[in-house]
Amino acid sequence: MWVQKEITLSRHPRGFHIITDHIIRELPQIKDISAGLLHIFIKHTSASLTINEDADPTVRIDFESHFNETVPENAPYYRHTLEGPDDMPAHLKSAILGSSVSIPIGGGKLILGIWQGIYLCEHRDHGGSRRIVLTVNGD
């Protein structure tokens, strides 16, 4: 069984945002799968996806602070500067965090640890809406 669906996430401000419930709502077919995988892919190079703690919101604030510190704007070695100071760091952060996550499905549910949530990582100041491809494969 394959399910594939492209969805649009409305504009999120720069930072890290939990989208777990949004993704699950889009995929009622998960409840029919006893064993499988969900693949989530973002069709952009300046926003990314990861999995991390979904409880204390200060974790997401610290993610934004940390990546701004280690992937700074206006680094003297950047040559790709025409699209604004937030653009090249956004490309680098996307590659470090990744453009997809995949999560096991078992017993009709996503198998996530108790503290795990899916993050949309918006690295641009004005990233606009973002397109995501959801692919489910399972029995």
List the beta bridge partners of residue 2: 137
Q: Nearer Cβ to a copy of itself, position 58 or 125?
A: 58
Place of tokens 């490309």: 91
In the region spanning residues 80 to 109, those forming contacts with a copy of itself, defined by CB under 8 A, are 80, 88, 91-92, 94-104, 106
Contact 15, 126 (CB under 8 A): no
- Counting contacts by CB under 8 A, is residue 29 touching a copy of itself? no
The Cα–Cα gap between 84 and 73 comes to: 9
**Contacting a copy of itself (CB under 8 A), which of 8, 70, 74, 129?**
70
SS3 string of 14-61?
A: CEEEECHHHHHHHCHHHHHCCEEEEEEEECCCCEEEEEEECCCHHHHH
- Counting contacts by CB under 8 A, is residue 28 touching a copy of itself? no
Kindly list the residues in this chain that would bind a copy of itself in the complex (CB under 8 A): 2-4, 6, 35-37, 39, 41-45, 50-53, 56, 58-59, 61-63, 65-66, 69-71, 75, 77-80, 88, 91-92, 94-104, 106, 111-116, 119, 131, 133, 135, 137-139
